[in-house]
Structure 1
Amino acid sequence: MDLKYHQFISFFEAEQAEQLCQIAITENFPNQKILFEEGEKPDFLYLILVGKVVFKKHIAHNQYQTLAQALPNAYFGELGILDGQPRSAQAIVCEGSTLAKLERQSLMEILLNAKGSTVLKVFGYTTQRLRDSTDQYVKQLIYKEKMVLVGEMLNTVIHDFKSPLSGINLSSSMVKELHPDLETVEWCELIQAQAQRMSAMAEELLEFSRGNTVLRKKPVNLAKVLERFEKLNHIYLQEAQVELVIKAVDVVVNADENKLLRVVQNLVSNAVEAFNHPGGRVEITVGANGRWGRIKITDNGPGIPEEIQEQFFEPFVTHGKRGGTGLGTAIAKSIIDAHGGDISFESSCQKGTVFCIILPLVSS
């Protein structure tokens, strides 16, 4: 955006606004550039023209808590400018950004000569931003407490699962040995695969609660992954009366196959549970574009409600699902992010939902 249209500049009378534009230093900053550290002496007020800046508080050795973020037309650093006290948080560029910097001494001289209405506007904006930061921080604390409870519960569940899952595996192995015909062997292998999935799902949820996604990456053919997915979910989809269509070519990505299956499982299960009419259909296609492999999951369901679309990948966001935890899509995003990929969607009540997942191809 043009500096002269920035909201901070608009707070001032025309003459002072012109002065601010003249003293402003406009710079481009790369992604992950640290603008200032917590405890540093304040020297500039920053106006965001393009990009995003995130603010983090140091909580332990090499550990930071995200407090808030600022987007274009916002400004930050005014508290240090006004009271001269050290910076209260770290500011780091989250995207390639263009910022305008206003030097403290020059800015204070202009503020001292500003009208009372201008000062009130600056004060009002600062107060609202402090409120927003406080709300976000409280939400993060609540989220952490929830995840601690989830982790404690899962530790118990995983421990209790071990005995019955071992019994299921042992029993299916014995049945397979006693009845080595092809059909029985196939059913026993399906039982064992589903038992292993139950254990893996619990472990993945535990990893998520700890904020630690462990990947065992190797070259994976996406067509083979979907073939395995179809085999594991054939009965589930048949009972739900949902048609599954897979259109896949051989695309090889560097990925953790089991966790990739978990992502597809979560998204397809959400679609199946959302169908409120006969004729449910899910189509999964695989392709490649440049350095990326692509998975598209399309359904003809009722779409994702507009009120949760912006927060759809956040933990504990759910809508209309009995017993839903709101963690499935958050786990899916964390897995794709850990792979260095991206997940996005488009959704409407008229057309259903399309998820698009991209993952880096195996380097040739």
Structure 2
Amino acid sequence: MARLGSRILNTLSGRFLLLTVAFVMLAEVLIFVPSIARFRVDYLQLRLEKAQIASLALLAGDGMVTPELEAELLANAGVFNVVLRRDEVRQLVLSSEIPEPISATYDLRMDGPFDLIREAMAVLVDPQERIIRVIGNPVQQAGLLIEITLRQGPMRLEMLEYGLRILVLSALISVITAALLFFAVRRLLVLPIRRVVRNMQAYAGAPEDARLVFTPTARVAELRDAEEALQQMQTELIGALRQKERLAQLGGAVAKIAHDLRNILTSAQLFADRIEQSPDPGVARAVPKLVGSISRAVNLCESTLAFGKAEEHPPRLARFALRPMLEDVAEGEGLSPTTEPACLIDAAPGLVIRADAEQVQRVLSNLVRNARQALDATGRAGTIELSAGEDEQDWWIRVGDTGPGLPPKAREHLFQAFQGSVRKGGMGLGLAISAELVRGHGGRLELLRSDEEGTEFIIRLPKLGAEGDAGLAG
């Protein structure tokens, strides 16, 4: 039973029920306090009115009232004596023996609201029988003031009965109000939320099932917004999952093609090695270029396979001079300061970095190849610039060109495989693999600019962790 109660209290509707009861009771308390003060004032005012009627009856009889009648008048008014001031003279009209001294005097003409509330609360918490004096204004302007003496006990009992009736009524109102609000909140909030939760649980079991996409039905604006957001998210997720599945299938097909093509190119590489022994000078000059092209094609196939399997080995760090590598990359692409496009290298001969030389060369080759293809597509002369340097934290390498810049679509998905291709017919693997290789060094590959004046990438390789034995495996 206790566990069930705890479970209910931990629900939204259960907590709302408790809050409703608490706030309704608080409101009733705020009503009860001034009400009980008002009841005390009305009680005393009624005693003043009865005492005034009794005193007027005595005055009408010209003082010829028997002691028995006077006692009956006082008993009917519920007081011990009555003092009426009709002019400047204070006159004791009715009187009887007071059993004990007067303990307090209350002047209803002078008390403010807070005084009345304080006095009423004091009466409720004081169980002792006391004699009090009360001063007020006569009704119908029948004098300047009227003063009575009475017991506090009967007034306190009636105040307690009145307060109890208010509390019982307040509790009843609280229960009814809380129940109505409980069912209203359950109908308007809890049930729609549970419907959303059930849909999310069902959708999690089959996220590709379009039939499980949530249909908004809530009328509450906030819940409607949440349901529409859930519907949009599920719709977009289904599209993303379908695209991912297609890309996975495409990747598998590309991996198979790359595998077979690598075998074919390996055989072609063997034949090229044999042709290299030809005595023909023209063939001898062409063979190195042929071997280089086939080697790059084999590397491309291996990169495709490695990307598909996510089996890129960690960087093997070693120190090497960077400028010779830049020159090798330019020469591998058939570029020099005198070719079209021209390739300019700005790097200090003594600049030494610590990285995986093979992976850095692959990254640079990808960037330089993309730059050359961009310039070749324009059909006009251009320049590719390779520069390098270092600061306190990083080694950096810039690769820039004076080409037409990247198209907007390529910039949106620049480093995403199969989406960030910078040329027609490309698969977008080069930049994706390059960015992954640089991240493996703890660095980053960034696009510095791309506009009508050209494109510029920068590679940043951090020195932290590369200078000592705490770096990556080397």
TM-score normalised according to structure 2 size: 0.48
CA contact (8 A) 2:371 2:403 kept: yes
Quick one: distance in 2 between partners of 1:236 and 1:157? 31
205-214 vs 318-327, greater mean Cα deviation: 318-327
Quick one: distance in 1 between partners of 2:296 and 2:363? 13
User: One-letter code of the match for 1:206?
Assistant: L
Match of 2:439 among 332, 337, 355: 337
Q: Does 1:288 align with 2:390?
A: yes
Structure 2: unaligned runs, 5 residues or longer: 1-191, 205-217, 469-474
Match of 1:229 among 329, 341, 344: 329
Q: Does 1:122 align with 2:246?
A: no
Task: Give the secondary structure class of the aligned counterpart of 1:346.
Answer: strand
Match of 1:246 among 345, 348, 354: 345
Q: Does 1:346 align with 2:448?
A: yes
Q: How does 1:1-364 map to 2 (within 5 A)?
A: 83=197, 116-172=220-276, 174=277, 192-215=291-314, 217-219=316-318, 220-234=320-334, 241-249=340-348, 250-275=350-375, 276-317=378-419, 321-361=423-463, 362-364=466-468
Quick one: distance in 1 between partners of 2:390 and 2:363? 18
CA contact (8 A) 2:422 2:428 kept: no
CA deviation vs aligned residue, 1:291-319 (integer Å, no higher than 9, x gap): 32111111111111123312111122256
Residue 186 of structure 1, CA deviation: 8.7
Residue 139 of structure 1, CA deviation: 1.8
Quick one: distance in 2 between partners of 1:206 and 1:136? 23
User: One-letter code of the match for 2:370?
Assistant: N
Higher relative CO (Cα under 8 Å, sequence separation at least 6) belongs to 1
More strand by share: 1
User: One-letter code of the match for 2:223?
Assistant: V
User: One-letter code of the match for 1:199?
Assistant: V
CA deviation vs aligned residue, 1:307-354 (integer Å, no higher than 9, x gap): 331211112225673432222222222222233221110334333111
Q: 1:87 to 1:322 in 2, by over 3 A?
A: closer
Quick one: distance in 1 between partners of 2:244 and 2:360? 27
Quick one: distance in 2 between partners of 1:81 and 1:223? 65
CA deviation vs aligned residue, 1:5-44 (integer Å, no higher than 9, x gap): xxxxxxxxxxxxxxxxxxxxxxxxxxxxxxxxxxxxxxxx
Structure 1: unaligned runs, 5 residues or longer: 1-77, 90-113
CA deviation vs aligned residue, 1:212-250 (integer Å, no higher than 9, x gap): 2124523233222112112222359976x1011111134
More helix by share: 2
Q: 1:227 to 1:80 in 2, by over 3 A?
A: farther
Q: 1:356 to 1:231 in 2, by over 3 A?
A: same
**Superposition CA RMSD, Å:** 3.5
Q: Percent of pairs identical after alignment?
A: 21
Task: Give the secondary structure class of the aligned counterpart of 1:340.
Answer: coil
Task: Give the secondary structure class of the aligned counterpart of 1:217.
Answer: coil
CA deviation vs aligned residue, 1:166-216 (integer Å, no higher than 9, x gap): 1212432x35xx79x9x9999866665554333223212211122221245
Q: 1:236 to 1:80 in 2, by over 3 A?
A: farther
Quick one: distance in 2 between partners of 1:218 and 1:337? 14
TM-score normalised according to structure 1 size: 0.61
Quick one: distance in 1 between partners of 2:428 and 2:421? 8
Task: Give the secondary structure class of the aligned counterpart of 1:294.
Answer: strand
User: One-letter code of the match for 1:155?
Assistant: H
CA contact (8 A) 1:201 1:262 kept: no
Quick one: distance in 1 between partners of 2:400 and 2:422? 20
Quick one: distance in 1 between partners of 2:193 and 2:311? 35
CA contact (8 A) 1:283 1:299 kept: yes
Q: 1:319 to 1:193 in 2, by over 3 A?
A: closer
Residue 255 of structure 1, CA deviation: 3.0
- Rg larger for: 2
Quick one: distance in 2 between partners of 1:268 and 1:152? 28
